[in-house]
Structure 1
Amino acid sequence: MNFSKSAFLAGAASVAVSFSSAFAGPLVNQLGFAPDAEKMVVYPGSDANGLEVRDLNGKTVLKLDAPMVYDWDYSGEEVQSFDISALKVPGTYRLFRGGEYVGTPIVVGKNVYDDLVKAALKWFYYQRSSMALDPQYAGKWARAAGHKDDKVIIYGSDKVTGGKGAGKTIKSDRGWYDAGDYGKYIVNSGITVFTLLEAYENFPKYLDSLSWNIPREFAKYPEILEEVRYNLDWMLTMQDKDGGVYHKVTTLKFGGSVMPEKDDAPRYAIIKNVTASLDFAAVMAQASVVYRNIDKAYADKMLKAAEKAYGWAKKNPKAFYKQPADVQTGSYAPGDENGKDEFRWAAAELYRAKVVAGSKNDKAAATYLADLKANPFTPDGAWWGNVNMLAAFRVAQDSASFDKDLVAAAKKVVLDEANNLRAVGDTSGYHLPAFPWSWNWGSNSAMANNGMVLVHAYLLTGDRSYVDGAQQCLDYLLGKNPMDISYVTGFGYRSPRNPHHRPSESDMVDDPVPGMLVGGPHLGKQDINLDGKEHWKCPDYAAADKPALAYLDNRCSYATNEVAINWNAPLVYLAAALEVIYGK
């Protein structure tokens, strides 16, 4: 049954809880599959009928008996999983059960994720601060420039925030808006830029081949590096003369749902700290490697900035970010911060950068390597609050720079995590490699990051079973989920229409910008009042008691329907990886 779910998902809690059972049908990746990909169809319930696949001429090409029934705790459903991987001939197919047509068409073909990758990358252009988005690039989502950020006030230097004077200012223009709001945050930019550059490092030929219509300043750059530079340039403005890096550029409070040029409250560069400085150091070091062959001067500039930031962090190892009482924008500061994972990541990236720059034997390189060896990998990550896995990715892939013991330790971390994920995906009702802790704010990014771990395991071993697990992660994001929705705007038969995203809320365009991965379901319910009172005019979905069902396609649901740069980046990585691997 091809019902549009967007209207239902914006309704009451009873709808959110009962939707999949009321409209039970096959749940499948709505964009399709490469011919050699694993292809799973999940069917809620315990129907005794098998599944039949027919081509558009009505010819039966595959028949499967009814499989075992499994419980899936995350939705409270009984489900059956059909493996249709034998379907390898490119084409469009339909599913039948009990002689009745069910579900939506299934596509098998090459390059089924190309447009998704390009749109997910193009979205970063739509998030650009400080510049107008012209119609020739932005289409109907063109807008005026917002936040020139040419006079950003240093927090604490003006009378409003406790200082005595008019306030010292810096120029901190360019960069990407972080999420549904208009802030720019170093910590979240760090993991975002890493992920995009990692995609480029792992799959350069594929990403070099793509074009998605953005303005060009650096004609010799691949487009992805052009886009990433727009944010790197902003990050460089956030470093003080002493090497320390400010945490964020935001207003003191979140602004309203207005276009960026209407958000005119004073903007502040808020508090230098060790976490921001180390994330900055890691990304600048990584970027210096990636850009070295196309822009040596820029690469040298970034490496110098990275080393200076690391030096500041070494001198100020306890200078963690603490949100001031008068600042109410995102804190990006986990409560259990100790800095070890950031030091680990920054040391790994800096040592590799020094090796690539031909400075392997200088004193600074020796310090980075010693620091890394004294700070062992842990089985954690990856998310903005713990970047240990990013360090493991770097070292595991680079036996030319790191010694065999470090490489072996890093590989063990990556493969242990991947094996745990693969085991869950192979045995769960929805075939989703997800842990209980994956169901948090931004759960969809957790699924994409899980897929990224599995892709790295494949790159390290050549074992295609890890690719199957990565495919399962993308399948979930693109429709194989209890809500029967592709969580990426503009892609699939049913996708979010009302993301929590200020430009989408105020631009008077019905369609949201395509290519945005919304945060996804979880039970945090931070956007509702559990006493039942209306909050942000958001329908109450508190009755949803299973994490995979607690989602609302409503702009008020910032807990489940916001967008963010660090969620889109692993979507880019995962979809690009599957395009490349299955395209071989």
Structure 2
Amino acid sequence: MEVIFISQWKDIAFPKLNVKPQSIFLMRKLMTFILIYLVSIPMASAQYNYAEALQKSMLFYEAQQSGELNNNRLNWRDDSALDDGSDVGHDLTGGWYDAGDHVKFGFPMAFSATLLAWGGIEFEDGYVASGQMEYLKSNLRWANDYFIKCHTAPNELWGQVGNGGTDHAWWGSAEVMQMERPSYKIDASSPGSDLAGETAAAMAAASIIFQDDDPSYSSTLLSHAIELYDFADNYRGVYSDAITDAAGYYRSFSGYADELVWGAIWLYKATGDEAYLNKAISYYENLSNEGQSTIKSYKWGLAWDDKSYGCYILLAQITGDTEYKQDAERHLDYWTTGYDGDRITYTPGGLAYLDVWGALRYSLNTSFLALVYSPIATSSTKSSTYYDFAVSQMEYALGDNPRNSSYVCGFGNNFPENPHHRTAHGCWSNNQNGPPEFTRHTLYGALVGGPNNDDSYEDERSNYINNEVACDYNAGFSGVLAKFVDDFGGTALSNFPTPETPGEEFFTEAKLNAEGGTHTEYAVWIYNHTAWPSRIADSHTFRLFIDISEGVSAGYSASDYIVSTNNSGVATFTPLMAWDAGNNIYYTEVTLNSDIFLWPGGQGESRQEVQMRVRLPYDAPNSAWDPTNDWSYQGVNGSLSKSPNIPLYVDGELVFGDEPGPVDPVDVTGVTLSPNSTELRLNQSATLIATVAPANATNQGVSWSTSDNSVATVSSTGVVTGISEGTATITVTTDDGGYTATSEITVIDEEVEQFTVTTSTIGTGSVSLSPTGGTYDAGTMVTLTANPGSNYQFTGWSGDASGTTNPLTVTVNSDLVITASFEEITVPPLGCESYETISLPFDNDGSGDFCWVTSGNISFINSWNLDELTINGVDYTNTWSNSLPARIDGNYYIHYSASVAWAHAEFNGSSVAMINNDQMLIYPNPASEELRFKGITEYNLISIIDTSGKTIYEKQIDSSEELTIPLNGIKPGVYILKAQSAQKEIVKQFIIE
């Protein structure tokens, strides 16, 4: 420790003072006494920038803000919990999240606000010198504005928002919480004197802070404080008996006697009304005693539960009475030199260690009391001891410890990087251990719980005992910092905080699902890993870019390309649209459906797959398809990886990836017209095809004209219609005006015969006609396309076409009725009794069955009990496979494990996810209309529970093999399925669409 001497004082003289010599002597004696007193107080070394630490501690409270944020300096925080209080018809938004979770516990919040305000009152100069007074006031206003909202009637105070159980069951950022947040209150019938008394103390203390610069606000706070204290005093009760959910987190172990004294003291300080002081003195005798003795408790510490130790200090400060000084010094002696042979435990490194849970919180709260009391201690030795204690505890917290590490996030050396704090983690996986494994935000200024009693400590996010942060942890800590700023100086950082640079938030990954001579199929995954701040977007769109040059060379145009998806109901998409038509660059735009909820709330919830196929007609030559020059094909292979050439647009803005760059223009060199002559009957039409050369010319536009409109007309797309007998010349001109081509049209005076084509279907499917309309000139070629494109047969047509091709092309020379007969699919229950079985050569007994059923285009492979699976000499035990002999029509992805085999099955490219948990099969997931179970014989109770913890469905079941639960009336969202028996239970998450 440094000791500061003012050696110049020996040279002080008093010339020109109009005083008697003996007065000068007395003044010199007084100065000597002051010098001796100051030298007796140990002074901390200024090895730490206390102003910077205080600055960061003030910022921590902004990280804890709930509600609609105004002027928050952290670019990773945003509005959250905007519906708080809506369940009870009140606006209960605002306030602070308690710690690393998102419950607003009113009891510790009010204590934090009281202690923060006390620090601002006692050590105002330190706040002013460091430039932090405005931020202290902003933080206090934030909390007290919330208390005003919560005090909805003289004898009514809302003391908690959010359910501890459901809140703690989910790990993610405050901005995207989805659980229900119930509100809890105390009132005359269910009182809470401790909660009301502490909130009164907080508002009275804050009224002192705002008295000078905002007297109106100060008056409002004081009015609420008076009402709340009357409520606390007149309706006695422990708040955690009324708000039972708080009992598991902030039970009021000490009762309410301390809050009645504490609240009365602060109302006296705010009002000067002696009645409150008298009440505090009167209630003081109700404070707890140490063990079975008659002396006041001294072996614990000031915290959210017990304010007795703060009452000792305040009454000693206000009255100077010996009783209060003795109680105060007994407590501080126990923490420093010891009392009556008894002393608090110290770690080897020097930390006064009260409890493993928040050890630094207790030592620094006691340090705060020591600094407040030190100037009025009964001896200079005690003053020195108490002050020195505060210095040692603060220096331990900031780095003077065996680990040489700071316990304040973002301050000093080797500070904690992984505090137990959901929003700071910026997690998208609903897992405190990640991903991401690293904490994405620096939680500046947060004091963590601290080390173990041997000074050991691990910076682990999952360790909520040593590594959680809390509003009350920083309250006394901030006051001590302000005192040391005043004593030793320090400079706050300029331009702090600087906005964080956002990491990767929205992006796409892709792999090749399938390739063929006329198609490419992509599996594209869209991710929401947002954290600056975490957010839920309204729309997500990606684009697949392809180059159709080889198709154009083969005689195809963009309209011939077919875009499809394997994920019906997930996304919508466009046909190919021009991006750079001159260079044959086109794209399809794929947009997630609005009911797809993509949010950073879990591994599955934060991503969505869309399988997209782009192809030419199946009869196209292989030479017409070459994906290697496609923009979006680059870098995509059979493994899922980042796909920067598949750009992602969120809410209409490009957020990830790159679009094709500009291409140098290619000049037009000519144009041809086909056919160059043709014959039409009256009212008959024909389409002329204009081909601009080269195929990749930048400007492919052309215009059409006819030499005689009375003979034949021509449309903007080259459709020529015969009007009257005669000959006309049709001319096509390139848009650059440089090239033309002609075709001679002869119209003869003879009506063309017309016929109709009608279609019908048997089974689940549809047929489309091209050209559309159904009425055609004789000799017209009509294309029929079946959907789905498998398991069907065309019948009833005339012509030479085969009935199994898709599409089917026919020449219309008579009225046709064409039927597409689709295989009719039924949905039987799971089982093996009446379904196709396939015998496989097992190596143990030579035979075996796999049962399969179909539902639409999805196949299920049922369970099969076996010790191991070897098929045709290949061991498939504990493996995934899509190439087994058991495959029927589609691709089965089957997981075989010893004793039991379950399957995630795919059929015709679509899939259904099933939950397998302890040999119970639950499907489908996500579900929409019903949820089915198989293998539930061990359980007798099935429950569905929403994210608020409310049971919305419950059913006693017998030992039946199967169960179906209708989901009518249950809103979409994430739910918990619980199956129970007397011996066991399983819990699984599922989604209702």
2:237 equivalent in structure 1: 318
Write the distance in 2 (CA, Å) between the matches of 1:267 and 1:235. Answer: 18
Compute the displacement of 1:340 (Å).
Answer: 0.9
Counterpart among 151, 156, 181 of residue 101 in structure 2: 181
Write the distance in 2 (CA, Å) between the matches of 1:114 and 1:352. Answer: 28
Kindly indicate whether residue 219 of structure 2 is the aligned counterpart of residue 300 of structure 1.
yes
CA RMSD of aligned residues (A): 3.3
Instruction: Report sequence identity in percent.
Output: 22
Kindly indicate whether residue 251 of structure 2 is the aligned counterpart of residue 340 of structure 1.
no
2:297 equivalent in structure 1: 379
Write the distance in 2 (CA, Å) between the matches of 1:371 and 1:423. Answer: 31
Quickly say closer, same or farther: Cα 1:118–1:238, change in 2 above 3 A.
same
> Contact between 1:126 and 1:133, CA under 8 Å: does it hold in 2?
no
Write the distance in 2 (CA, Å) between the matches of 1:132 and 1:349. Answer: 29
Quickly say closer, same or farther: Cα 1:228–1:134, change in 2 above 3 A.
closer
Counterpart among 517, 538, 544 of residue 447 in structure 2: 517
Compute the displacement of 1:192 (Å).
Answer: 1.0
Compute the displacement of 1:464 (Å).
Answer: 3.0
> Contact between 2:313 and 2:373, CA under 8 Å: does it hold in 1?
no
Counterpart among 266, 272, 282 of residue 349 in structure 1: 266
Counterpart among 183, 187, 200 of residue 281 in structure 1: 200
Letter in structure 1 aligned against 2:333: N
Kindly indicate whether residue 139 of structure 2 is the aligned counterpart of residue 227 of structure 1.
yes
1:248 equivalent in structure 2: 160
Compute the displacement of 1:397 (Å).
Answer: 2.3
Q: Which one has more relative contact order, counting CA pairs under 8 Å at least 6 apart?
A: 1
In structure 2, the residue corresponding to 1:548 is in which secondary structure? coil
Write the distance in 1 (CA, Å) between the matches of 2:278 and 2:318. Answer: 19
1:201 equivalent in structure 2: 121
Normalising by structure 1, we get a TM-score of: 0.65
Letter in structure 2 aligned against 1:263: M
Write the distance in 2 (CA, Å) between the matches of 1:121 and 1:276. Answer: 24
Counterpart among 68, 72, 81 of residue 147 in structure 1: 81
Quickly say closer, same or farther: Cα 1:505–1:301, change in 2 above 3 A.
same
Write the distance in 1 (CA, Å) between the matches of 2:280 and 2:89. Answer: 37
2:468 equivalent in structure 1: 562
Compute the displacement of 1:130 (Å).
Answer: 1.1
In structure 2, the residue corresponding to 1:237 is in which secondary structure? helix
Compute the displacement of 1:132 (Å).
Answer: 4.1
Which structure has the bigger radius of gyration? Answer: 2
> Contact between 2:78 and 2:175, CA under 8 Å: does it hold in 1?
yes
* Deviation digits for residues 98-134 of structure 1 (CA, Å, limit 9, x no counterpart): xxxxxxxxx9647721101110111111211113477
> Contact between 1:442 and 1:520, CA under 8 Å: does it hold in 2?
yes
Write the distance in 1 (CA, Å) between the matches of 2:200 and 2:243. Answer: 24
* Deviation digits for residues 342-382 of structure 1 (CA, Å, limit 9, x no counterpart): 11111211223221xxx54xxx6477356445546833431
Quickly say closer, same or farther: Cα 1:449–1:573, change in 2 above 3 A.
same
Write the distance in 1 (CA, Å) between the matches of 2:46 and 2:193. Answer: 47
1:368 equivalent in structure 2: 279
* Deviation digits for residues 543-562 of structure 1 (CA, Å, limit 9, x no counterpart): xxxx3356331111111111
Quickly say closer, same or farther: Cα 1:491–1:35, change in 2 above 3 A.
farther
Write the distance in 2 (CA, Å) between the matches of 1:324 and 1:398. Answer: 34
Letter in structure 2 aligned against 1:148: L
Would you say how many aligned residue pairs link Structure 1 and Structure 2? 421
Kindly indicate whether residue 327 of structure 2 is the aligned counterpart of residue 413 of structure 1.
yes
In structure 2, the residue corresponding to 1:563 is in which secondary structure? coil
Quickly say closer, same or farther: Cα 1:429–1:520, change in 2 above 3 A.
closer
Counterpart among 390, 403, 420 of residue 470 in structure 1: 390
Letter in structure 2 aligned against 1:197: A
Compute the displacement of 1:567 (Å).
Answer: 0.5
Write the distance in 1 (CA, Å) between the matches of 2:243 and 2:201. Answer: 26
Write the distance in 1 (CA, Å) between the matches of 2:194 and 2:474. Answer: 22
2:249 equivalent in structure 1: 331
Kindly indicate whether residue 70 of structure 2 is the aligned counterpart of residue 122 of structure 1.
no
Quickly say closer, same or farther: Cα 1:35–1:489, change in 2 above 3 A.
farther
* Deviation digits for residues 252-281 of structure 1 (CA, Å, limit 9, x no counterpart): 522422111111322222131222111111
1:53 equivalent in structure 2: none
1:423 equivalent in structure 2: 337
Kindly indicate whether residue 92 of structure 2 is the aligned counterpart of residue 172 of structure 1.
yes
Counterpart among 360, 376, 395 of residue 444 in structure 1: 360
* Deviation digits for residues 474-495 of structure 1 (CA, Å, limit 9, x no counterpart): 1221233344421111222211
In structure 2, the residue corresponding to 1:247 is in which secondary structure? strand
1:30 equivalent in structure 2: none
2:713 equivalent in structure 1: none
1:70 equivalent in structure 2: none
Quickly say closer, same or farther: Cα 1:473–1:387, change in 2 above 3 A.
same
> Contact between 1:274 and 1:318, CA under 8 Å: does it hold in 2?
yes
1:496 equivalent in structure 2: 416
Quickly say closer, same or farther: Cα 1:367–1:416, change in 2 above 3 A.
closer
Compute the displacement of 1:246 (Å).
Answer: 2.6
Larger mean CA deviation between 228-237 and 420-429 belongs to 420-429
Higher helix share: 1
Quickly say closer, same or farther: Cα 1:398–1:473, change in 2 above 3 A.
same
> Contact between 1:35 and 1:110, CA under 8 Å: does it hold in 2?
no
Compute the displacement of 1:328 (Å).
Answer: 7.6
Higher strand share: 2
* Deviation digits for residues 416-446 of structure 1 (CA, Å, limit 9, x no counterpart): 22222221599967473625xx123111101
* Deviation digits for residues 301-346 of structure 1 (CA, Å, limit 9, x no counterpart): 1222112112222232134323767x48963113x44311111111
Kindly indicate whether residue 484 of structure 2 is the aligned counterpart of residue 578 of structure 1.
yes
> Contact between 1:423 and 1:433, CA under 8 Å: does it hold in 2?
no
Kindly indicate whether residue 173 of structure 2 is the aligned counterpart of residue 236 of structure 1.
no
1:393 equivalent in structure 2: 313
Letter in structure 2 aligned against 1:565: C
Write the distance in 1 (CA, Å) between the matches of 2:70 and 2:4. Answer: 39
1:434 equivalent in structure 2: 352
Letter in structure 1 aligned against 2:304: W
